[in-house]
Amino acid sequence: MHDAVIVDAVRTPIGKRGGSLADVHPADLSAHILKSLTARTGLDPAEIDDIIWGCVMQAGDQAGNIARTAALAAGWPESVPGTTVNRACGSSQQSVSFAAASVIAGHADFIIAGGVESMTRVPMGSAAKEGSSATPPSVQTRYGVDSFSQGLGAEMMAERWNLDRRTLDEYALRSHELTAAAIDSGAFDSQLAPIEGKLAVDEGLRRGGSIDKLGTLKAPFKADGVIHAGNASQISDGAAALLITTSKIATERRLDPIARIHTVAVTGDDPVMMLSGPISATAKALSRSGLSINDIGAFEVNEAFAPVPLAWLAETGADEKLLNPLGGAIAVGHPLGGSGAILMTRLVHHMRNNGIQYGLQTMCEAGGMANATIVELI
């Protein structure tokens, strides 16, 4: 039976909304990262069997199968196809899972998995027509709500896990501090493909924050709420890509993979709270893998809102020092469809740089879903 390995992984620096990447078309941003990946690996683009690309807001500049558009924008042979997938925030993590399944099944030799989101150019909600609703009355009646809100879901998580505002804000400061340390130490250098003349490092980092400063921010989702812009992920622009093949093909082609995709899992959870899925997805992935939480040496739990990693930490019993060791989306941003691949890129490079055998990535997703992926260092 075949396996699936990550030969290399690369990402753009993450731009803040309206920032340095605001005038870059998302197909061109994707093309930049595709070309960077093949340049790093030495693979001829003509050998790519497919591009599986995550993107959430498939409207405007991101409409019309951006995976294929990106390949054309990269100047690649017309023989290279592409497909675009949407599992909300976990879209490009799902792209990696689909790519792994394809090479394991023998349907493809080389697949590029990744994703993009330009939240500046294609804001959240762009895919919905004015006056329309993605949830019909049957779903609203089932759950007793008129609409589903991630912000209110984060408030529900904070209440359920007894996370007060100070705890959430302290976690947010931790994210910025760890990101600053990672940038200053060069921990991200080997994984970045800077956009010449525009952006070389992640743009959202805010240095010198304090509890007092965060305390001045308004909580918009709930009266006397605890969720605000400072302890939630930043709206941003970015892309990432990973080259997926089998270890057999990698050996034949004298490629040196970083990691093996060990186990994947996806789960559904409460769609009203919406953000608690990483807890059950992690449990499912660990059960399938035969590993325990203590076997994992690094965790990437997407920081959509501070309660997500903190509730996950409380339920899993993981070592806090191993959680998001380079900071996360609170500090650098969460470009929706690109984030799964961005986190996986961060994870596998961190594992290689520090000799960590197993890593786990998980992300909450709209609709109450979550992906979890365990990777093993080669």
Beta strands in the chain (DSSP E): 5-11, 15-16, 50-54, 82-85, 111-118, 236-245, 259-268, 298-301, 358-365, 369-377
Report pLDDT digits (tens) over 324-375.
999 999 999 999 999 999 999 999 999 999 999 999 999 999 999 999 999 9
Q: What is the mean pLDDT of the chain?
A: 97
Report pLDDT digits (tens) over 303-326.
999 999 999 999 999 999 999 999
Q: How confident is the model at residue 133 (pLDDT cuts 50, 70, 90)?
A: confident
Report pLDDT digits (tens) over 106-119.
999 999 999 999 99
SS3 300: strand
Q: N- to C-terminal Cα distance for the chain?
A: 18
Which two tokens mark 135?
A: 């949830």
Q: What is the pTM of this model?
A: 0.97
Tell me the one-letter amino acid at 218. K
Q: Give the residue among 334, 335, 8 at the shortest CA–CA distance from 190.
A: 8
User: CA torsion 286→289→290→294, rounded to 10°?
Assistant: -50
**pLDDT of res. 310:** 98
Please state, for a pLDDT cut of 70, what percent of the chain lies above it. Answer: 100
Is the model's pLDDT at 34 over the cut of 90?
yes
Mean pLDDT value of segment 46-50: 98
Provide the angle, in degrees to the nearest 10, between the axes of the packed helices 26-41 and 66-73: 60
> Which are the catalytic amino acids?
89, 334, 364
Is the model's pLDDT at 131 over the cut of 80?
no
Q: How confident is the model at residue 86 (pLDDT cuts 50, 70, 90)?
A: very high
Q: How confident is the model at residue 283 (pLDDT cuts 50, 70, 90)?
A: very high
Question: Rounded to 5 degrees, what angle do the CA atoms 298, 349, 234 make?
Answer: 75
Instruction: Spell 293-303 as b/e; 16+ CB within 10 A means b.
Output: eeebbbbbbbb
**DSSP bridge pairs for 241:** 10, 114
Is the model's pLDDT at 128 over the cut of 90?
no
**pLDDT of res. 130:** 73
Mean pLDDT value of segment 118-135: 88
User: Who's near 236: CB < 8 A, 6+ residues apart?
Assistant: 14, 15, 16, 17, 19, 117, 119, 203, 204, 332, 333, 334, 335
**pLDDT of res. 291:** 98
Quick check: 24 and 280 in contact, CB under 8 A? no
Mean pLDDT value of segment 154-164: 98
Q: Give the residue among 28, 44, 34, 29 at the shortest CA–CA distance from 9.
A: 34
**pLDDT of res. 153:** 98
CA distances from 258 to 51, 61, 108, 117, 274 (A): 20, 33, 19, 25, 33
Report pLDDT digits (tens) over 192-246.
999 999 999 999 999 999 999 999 999 999 999 999 999 999 999 999 999 999 9
Question: Which residue's entry shows tokens 């993450």?
Answer: 14
User: Who's near 137: CB < 8 A, 6+ residues apart?
Assistant: none
